[in-house]
Amino acid sequence: MGEILERIQVSLLGFYAPNRKMEAAAHLDLATRLARAGVGNDSAWGSASTPIYQTAIFEHKRPLTAGNDAYNYTRIGNPTRTALQDVMRDLEGGAGSLAFTSGMGAIAATFQLFQFGDHIIATEGLYGHTYGLLASILQPLGIKSTFVDTSSIDAVKAAWTDRTAAVFLEVPSNPLLKAADIPAIAELCNERKAKLIVDSTFLTPWCIRPLELGADIVVHSSSKYLAGHNDTISGVVTARSSAVIEDLTYIQMLTGGALSPHDAWLTLRGIKTLALRMERCQENALRIATWLLDHPAVQEVHYPGLPDHPSHDVLKAQSTGFGGVVSFTTRTVEGARAALNNTRLILLAESLGGTETLITYPWTQTHGSIPPDERERLGINERLVRLAIGIESCDDLIADLDQALGG
371: preceding bond cis by omega (within 30 degrees): no
348: part of which helix (H) or strand (E)? strand 347-348
What DSSP element (H or E) covers 104?
helix 103-111
Q: SS3 for 148?
A: strand
75 annotated active-site? yes
Residues 303, 322: Cα–Cα separation, whole Å: 8
Q: What count of residues does the chain have? A: 407
Given the residues 36, 42, 75, 287, select the one marked as catalytic.
75
Cβ-in-10-Å burial (0-12, 13-18, 19+) of 183 comes to middle
Please compute, for residue 128, the number of CA atoms within 13 A of its CA located in the half-sphere on the CB side.
17
Known active-site residue 127: yes
- Which among 131, 140, 6 has a CA at the least distance from the CA of 66? 6
Using CA atoms, how far residue 390 sits from 130, 182, 355, in Å, is: 24, 27, 5
d(CA 95, CA 212): 12
CA distances for 87 relative to 35, 41, 96, 238, 351, angstroms: 11, 11, 10, 11, 24
DSSP 228-273: -SSS---EEEEES-HHHHHHHHHHHHHHT-BPPHHHHHHHHHHHTT
Are 284 and 389 within 8 A, CB to CB?
A: yes
Among 86, 118, 181, 199, the active-site one is: 199
Separation between Cα atoms, residue 207 and residue 185, nearest integer Å: 19
**Given the residues 71, 127, 131, 225, the one annotated as active site:** 127
142: exposed, middle or buried (Cβ count in 10 Å: 0-12, 13-18, 19+): exposed
Q: Cα 369 vs. chain centroid, distance in angstroms?
A: 19
Strands 298-302 and 325-330: antiparallel
Which helix (H) or strand (E) covers residue 88, if one does?
Answer: helix 79-92
Of 144, 195, 209, 224, the active-site residue reads 224
- Active site (catalytic) residues: 75, 127, 199, 224
